[in-house]
Amino acid sequence: MTTTELTVKTTPIPGLLVFRLPVHGDARGWFKENWQRAKMTALGLPDFGPVQNNVSYNATRGATRGIHTEPWDKYVTVATGSVFAAWVDMREGDSFGATFWIEVDESVAVFVPRGVGNSYQALADGTTYTYLVNDHYQAGKVYPALNLADETAGIPWPIPLAEAEISEKDQHNPRLADVEPMAPRRTLIVGAKGQLGRALQADFPDADLVDLDELDVTDPAAVAAWPWNEYGVVLNAAAYTAVDAAETPDGRIVCWSANATAPATLAGLAAEHRFTLVHVSSDYVFDGAQSLHTEEEPYSPLGVYGQAKAAGDIAVGLAPRHYVLRTSWVIGDGKNFVRTMQTLAGNGFSPTVVADQFGRLTFTSELSRAVRHLLDSEAPYGTYNVSGSGDVLSWADYAKRVFELSGRSADDVTPITTAEYAAGKTLSPRPENSALALAKIEATGFVPRDSLEQLEEYVSAD
């Protein structure tokens, strides 16, 4: 008994994979690599991170386990004997009710994604099969199940069910028409009350929403009590953005807690619970010496805020499934630079505005759209720059345009230098150049909108 090539085959059920395993045998018996992470992930097996190994022994031929659905991924193989295995997709969506079956012996392994019902019928006495799962079993929880004789599934059991050994409970499982499909793992927005959090709610209308008063990610007790395993995506829109206050003794502590410790905690949870972590970063992780910042540029923060954000980026980068969206000059629903300029213009003031810091505005609606795109397109995990596109301008340039859109003359805005603005104030150092290179996210199919076009829409919407 010898097969030499590890292969994988897809099935009518999305995500259900069948592996053919090399089995090496002689007169003494056989040997196989039952699960081989590197080889199998290279062939398309998700790196599903098993945490528990279960073994099921069937004493007699005909023992049949009901069609059970669990909220975890499972990797099934046979140790002795053989089973007829059947699966029914019990997940919400177009594939609900799709079926697949196959005989499984020592040369076959099957990856079963979360929400796909599975059943096994022993074809020999003393059959043992084993399975890896990536979440711990919790007694007392009830998950969807399906009657073995369901007509719509039409499973061709080799041993008629009337002759099979079936538990009393499995004999009374519902038909497919009465099964409530298993919903996908939910999305959580952390920092839902902020400018970005509010924008994300439009693109993720079914997400659970929390802010500091509902969930403090810096509080170990609150973190321990939260049901993280129920989430497939966590969007971290929470941040400490008082750049100048971060330079004070008290502000420094709060800034590091929110911008470094909290993201590090979320990264650890993402690894443990297998959710995708989306985190928003800042141009302040750079010193601004480069005219255009790429994702590969080394960190070089000038102040406490930038240092804390850089630390948060590094921590999130350790999560197996993560997106870091590095952005600049964020404008959304709430207090911001554009709203301030509109107010000044409307009240007859003529401000002085810094003219030697350069970048592009990023509207929260655009940032949220980028998050939605990266998740929906399943773009490679990693860091992506996201901002508006178009010309790189100064704060004074944008202020002049806001004044024009507000019916005032651009000449009513007086350009000044950063040094002039900072005279007599305690301020955090600012990067001179904040413009971000956008080629990486554009390569995923995302087309950033022009900042000035969005600015006009934003101002005229009032």
* Domain contains 98: yes
∠ CA 106-112-116 to the nearest 5 degrees? 135
Residue 131 catalytic?
A: yes
- Report helix, strand or coil for 233: strand
Q: Are residues 381 and 451 in the same domain?
A: yes
Give the pLDDT of residue 461. Answer: 84
Residue-level pLDDT at 3: 59
pLDDT at residue 2 in the model: 52
Last-in-domain residue among 178, 211, 234:
178
Shared domain for 147 and 233, answered yes or no, is no
- Same domain, yes or no: 200 and 279: yes
In this prediction, residue 161 carries a pLDDT of 95
Helices (H) and strands (E) in the chain, counts: 13, 25
pLDDT in tens, 400-435: 999 999 999 999 999 999 999 999 888 999 999 999
Q: In which residue ranges of the chain is pLDDT below 70?
A: 1-3, 462
Q: What is the rounded distance in angstroms from the CA atom of residue 315 to the CA atom of residue 156? A: 50
Which one of 156, 178, 200 terminates a domain? 178
The span from the CA of 156 to the CA of 149, in Å, is 9
Do 391 and 448 belong to one domain? yes
CB 58 within 8 A of CB 121: no
- The single residue of 120, 129, 131, 231 carrying the catalytic annotation is 131
Tell me, yes or no, whether 347 and 430 share the same domain.
yes
Q: In terms of residue numbers, what domain contains 432?
A: 186-460
pLDDT digits (tens, 9 = 90+) for 287-343: 999 999 999 999 999 999 999 999 999 999 999 999 999 999 999 998 899 999 999
CATH of residue 255's domain is 3.40.50.720
**Do 166 and 197 belong to one domain?**
no
Mark whether 194 and 135 lie in a shared domain: no
pLDDT given at position 437: 98
Beta bridge partner(s), residue 29: 26
Predicted pLDDT at 209: 96
Please indicate, yes or no, whether residues 333 and 375 belong to a single structural domain of this protein: yes
Last residue of a domain, one of 134, 152, 178: 178
Point out the catalytic residue in the list 57, 68, 299, 381. Answer: 68
pLDDT of residue 212: 87
Q: Let me know whether 334 and 196 are in one domain.
A: yes
* 163 shares its domain with 201: no
* 136 noted as active-site residue: no
pTM above 0.85, yes or no: yes
362 and 404, same domain (yes or no): yes
